[in-house]
Amino acid sequence: MFAAQAALRAAALFALAPLGEASAADWLQFGYDAQHSGNNPEERVITRDNVAQLTLFHAIDLLSPPEETLAAPVYLARVPTPAGLRNFAFVLAEAGSLYAIDVATGAIAWSHVQPPPEDFFHVTQSSPAIDPNRQFVYAYQLDGKVHKFAVGDGTEIVDAGWPEIVTLKPQWEHVASALAIATAANGRSYLYAVTDGYYGDGGDYQGHVTAIDLASGEQKVFNSLCSDITTHFIENGEPGVTACNSTMSGIWGRPGAVYDAGTDRVLVATSNGWFDANIGGYDWGDSVLALAPDGSGGGFGLPLDSFSPDNYDELRQSDLDFGAASPAIVPAPAGSAYRHLGVQMGKDGLLHLLNLDDMSGTGTPGMIGGDLQTLTIATTIPTNPIPQSATWIDAGDGSTWLYVPTVADGLAALEVEIGDGGLPSLAVRWTLHGTISTPVVANNIVFWSGHALDPRTGNAIADGMPNCCYWGGPIVVDGRVIVTGGYNQVWIYGIDAVFANGFD
């Protein structure tokens, strides 16, 4: 039905008189904000009363060559262009091709199409990110570099700093995670890119974080293996200087680096690789690491803080990928003895509730255990990465909720409870089974796996909703639901009466 109505609905829009300026909001990076909460609190157009009326307005085929579009899009409203103000969705396809799509018309306003990748595996699933100043969009393009483009016309910025190197081994090191941007407590904004290995875990790769100061172009590197070396490694380099003998640790949760404003730290989760930091080494496989916003650690090859589960060696040997998802920031409700909470979940189906002020409980990075709670969510080992969690605060009672995609291709809703002495814990309130998809929350509605759900009960408000075919999830912003997935395709949904630019 959606496809049959698309052309008629789109044509009807052009006959509508402007309805006044739309409720403009931006979705600047994966998961909406620097915490990657997956929650857009500014959405007002799509409501519980009209969500069932969402209609497909545009089914967009991107330019050749055919590329999968698995990464979530980003969105910028009221972009100044040579044709006037426009609302753009920015989509990055697997070869690193970047597209700016006018959401009102479905037209591709500008693009940077890259040549086909060398093979099926050497691709990217990274989402682009938009500068806080709303002037530039950044994207990874398979050449080991992040590129910078003007949002209005796609002009690439090439100067002494840009494009910025994020890996010197793009043939081995994969950029699967989204680019992320955070503005730290010092007022400076940083872009983060993380690396892992390609499918099959082969070759000379080491996961690392590259943090780029957007004002100066200066960058810092933190390696999850051989962390005492703070530069990008090269292939066949000198071990201990320009190369690392350890391999196979990667950072590849969907959002990549996660910024926690409460602690003014950046968090990443690693998968695979050796862990020996508890005995004085510099390898941090299967751990959560906390860094300063500029990407630096605490000196001497150490992060500022870390958490490593008791079963880290079992995870490595069984390829259970502790960092298959990125850390989730969980707002602490009133009465909590710990003000800054996070959750990490891997492919073993165990969820770890962490005190982000001291993740191991010892005040020292490199220690084992120390989480506030370990909770089993699911036990089925997946064949795909785990999508990212989303959070929601109920304005009615102030309760905090976390929506966790489980390794059994389902969704679990957990509420933060406060026990004796203010000890927080997570309690499962409801679960559903569906397909692999990242949930997002907008205007007190959970969008997941083709459903619009009540956040407290999991009951369907509407079914047949826009659904992503894989990890990325939809974005819900400014009265639109924008979805990527499959080969060369982007879908834009809206509500008839409110789907209009509101300016010309």
Q: Dump pLDDT digits (tens) for 406-446.
A: 867 789 999 999 999 999 999 999 999 887 789 999 999 99
Share of the chain above pLDDT 90, in %: 79
At 257, is the pLDDT very low, low, confident or very high (cuts 50, 70, 90)? very high
User: Encoding tokens for residue 203?
Assistant: 């070759």
Average pLDDT over every residue of 258-264 = 98
pLDDT at 200 (0 to 100): 85
Burial of 279 by CB count in 10 Å (0-12 exposed, 13-18 middle, 19+ buried)?
exposed
Q: How far apart are CA 46 and CA 238, in angstroms?
A: 56
At 14, is the pLDDT very low, low, confident or very high (cuts 50, 70, 90)? very low
At 469, is the pLDDT very low, low, confident or very high (cuts 50, 70, 90)? low
Query: How open is the CA angle 230-285-435, to the nearest 5 degrees?
Result: 120
pLDDT at 379 (0 to 100): 57
CATH 2.140.10.10 fits 2-498, yes or no: yes
Strand, helix or coil for residue 221: strand
CA distances from 5 to 11, 392, 476 (A): 10, 33, 21
Say yes or no to pLDDT of 245 above 60.
Answer: yes
Q: How far apart are CA 180 and CA 127, in angstroms?
A: 9
The whole-chain average pLDDT of the chain stands at 90
Query: How open is the CA angle 177-170-389, to the nearest 5 degrees?
Result: 10
Q: How far apart are CA 456 and CA 260, in angstroms?
A: 25
Average pLDDT over every residue of 251-272 = 96
Average pLDDT over every residue of 462-484 = 82
pLDDT at 285 (0 to 100): 97
At 24, is the pLDDT very low, low, confident or very high (cuts 50, 70, 90)? low
Say yes or no to pLDDT of 23 above 50.
Answer: no
pTM metric for this prediction? 0.93
Q: Dump pLDDT digits (tens) for 108-134.
A: 999 999 998 878 789 999 999 999 999
More confident residue, 486 or 336: 336
pLDDT at 384 (0 to 100): 58
Q: How far apart are CA 462 and CA 49, in angstroms?
A: 10
Burial of 304 by CB count in 10 Å (0-12 exposed, 13-18 middle, 19+ buried)?
middle
CA distances from 464 to 8, 131, 232, 449 (A): 20, 34, 46, 9
79, 152 contact by CB (below 8 A): yes
Residue among 502, 499, 500 at smallest CA distance from 55:
499
Say yes or no to pLDDT of 17 above 50.
Answer: no
Say yes or no to pLDDT of 1 above 70.
Answer: no
Q: How far apart are CA 481 and CA 54, in angstroms?
A: 8
More confident residue, 490 or 381: 490
Strand, helix or coil for residue 357: coil
Q: Dump pLDDT digits (tens) for 292-308.
A: 999 999 999 999 999 99
Residue where the block lists tokens 């962490």: 354
Say yes or no to pLDDT of 6 above 70.
Answer: no
pLDDT at 313 (0 to 100): 93
Say yes or no to pLDDT of 12 above 50.
Answer: no
Strand, helix or coil for residue 328: strand
Q: Dump pLDDT digits (tens) for 324-351.
A: 899 999 999 999 999 999 999 988 889 9
Q: Dump pLDDT digits (tens) for 59-115.
A: 999 987 778 888 999 999 999 999 999 999 999 999 999 999 999 999 999 999 999
Strand, helix or coil for residue 371: coil
DSSP bridge partners of 451: 448, 463
Say yes or no to pLDDT of 8 above 70.
Answer: no
